[in-house]
Structure 1
């Protein structure tokens, strides 16, 4: 289910993401296109076409209920390792804890930052399947 936070919360999400964005970008996979400056759906299609021209096979994956399964405590720990500003961390903790699909789990699809905050869970698998995935 897609969730839209109330307007005051969205303003806070934008402020937090503006502060965190550069740090989150450092661990993004180059060929990840969602919610990233200079990327987006059109660039993703261009990239897919380029890959299709160079490769005969592809692997399509979809992780069922991925965002619903993200553990709040693990995500909060990752944020606490990445950032040191206590007020920012309190805000991130509140944002993470504001939605649950089960006790202590889930991120809302449709809120700013969900895709970016969900990336650390997938980074290891992505790097296994795409070991040469970097800017060219």
Structure 2
């Protein structure tokens, strides 16, 4: 059973959240640091600016499979692997809620990130 959860940063914090970690590269609009109640901000495991730009220029959701493959490749980097290891270590101790500004967390890059965290690899 996974100790990771997905949520929107705009949702109110829950007592069940455990460790709250923002996994976006950019700070979400309209959210104060106090309101976010974050324990960590793991920018290094979020998609790069280049990948996000490509995704939006390439027609968005029509390119989901290719985006997932490119993002998984990014997660193979040394910095990203260290970030994944930190998140896994935190989840060994308590629940970890991965927070993002995306509108539909289960159907976003977060699913690729969650797979990488739960499988111990990106492939």
Normalising by the residue count of structure 2, what TM-score does the alignment of the two structures yield?
0.30
Structure (1 or 2) with the greater strand fraction: 2
Structure (1 or 2) with the greater helix fraction: 1
- Tell which structure's C-alpha radius of gyration is larger: 1
Normalising by the residue count of structure 1, what TM-score does the alignment of the two structures yield?
0.28
